[in-house]
Structures are given as structure tokens and as C-alpha cells.
Amino acid sequence: MATMLTERFERALVFATQRHSDQRRKGGDVPYVAHLLSVCGLVLDAGGDEDAAIGALLHDTVEDQKATLDEIRWLFGEQVASIVDQCSDTDEDPKPPWRARKETFVARVPLMTEAARLVTCADKLHNIRCILADYRVVGHGVWDKFTGGRDGSLWYYRAVLDALGSGPLWATLEAAVCDLEIAARDGS
């Protein structure tokens, strides 16, 4: 059965667009909302319901835009707030050190709900696709924009993949992680 999107999805789309209006993707001029729309599309293509789609649109609002879980819960419901909470690596300001934050996130992945695992998988898949596209333009310089650098980023994507273990997009994410590892090794 096809997922029906209601006015609640429309409100979430406006909310995400407004919250991320001044944000751009790392090292470029692409509006950040492009990432949110891509993740949402992957979630819907994989059979996610409206809550998962909204969670995909909002997955970075707590982490990057200082929205609160209470605000998301009030506007979009408990299920969406839970997805966003599970997909956020921190709501602390300032953020803890990168590696510790990512290790904590990876440890939580096996405990996530199916919807949060789907959003996480779609998020990482889109990120890797963007990194691979950047590789074609700038080569190994792509790692300069990432706090974890080459080695940390490769570790993180492989660790998330392993922690997910399965799911609707898992095989596609696995192929993307392998492609990223090959590109990083070969410089292609």
C-alpha cells in the first residue's frame, strides 16, 4: 500500500526548509534542504511511512538547527520526535568531540526502531553519494571538509553499516560504502 502524505508532511517540509534556510552542504553552495529531500525520497522509495518521511525531513533539526524534541513532538507527534532523537548524534552545545560523538551514535544504532534505522541508512547513503560525486571533482581533497578526515569518515560509515546489519536500503548502503573505500584507497 502506498504511503499517503498529509498536510502534516507539508508542514514538516516548510518547517525543515525554514530551519535550514541559511545552511549549505559542507564545502559548497547546495542548499541543505536538498539533502533532507533526498533522504526523505530514499525513505519513501524504501517503503517508509509518513512518520519516517517526516523524520527524514527533520533528522538534522535538533543536531544542527537547535530545534527541540519537545517542539518536534508538539508539532509532529511522538513517533517523529522519537525518530529525530534516535537519528541525532547530540543535542549538546557545544558538541562533544567528533570521535566520541560518533562512537556513541554507532553504539545506539542496533537499538533504534525500524523507522530510525531506515532514516539513518538513507542519510548515510545520500552522504556517501555526495562524497563520491565530490571525488570526481576534487579527488582526495574531499576529506578536508570533514572533521574525521579520510580515516575517521571511512571508519564511521563502515561502523554504521555494520551496526545496521540489515534493512531495506542496507545492501545499497553496503555497495556505496565499498565504493567509497575503493575511491579513498585508489584516489579514483
Residues annotated as catalytic are 63-64
Helix (H) or strand (E) holding 138: helix 114-138
Nearest to 86 by CA among 126, 113, 64, 56: 113
Q: Which residues contact 30 (CB under 8 A, 6 or more apart)?
A: 24
Return the CA Rg of the chain. Answer: 16
At 31 the three-state DSSP class reads strand
Calculated CA dihedral for residues 49, 55, 58, 64, nearest 10 degrees: -150
Q: Which residues contact 116 (CB under 8 A, 6 or more apart)?
A: 55, 82, 83, 86, 87
How many Å separate Cα 28 from the centre of its chain? Answer: 17
Nearest to 92 by CA among 74, 117, 66: 66
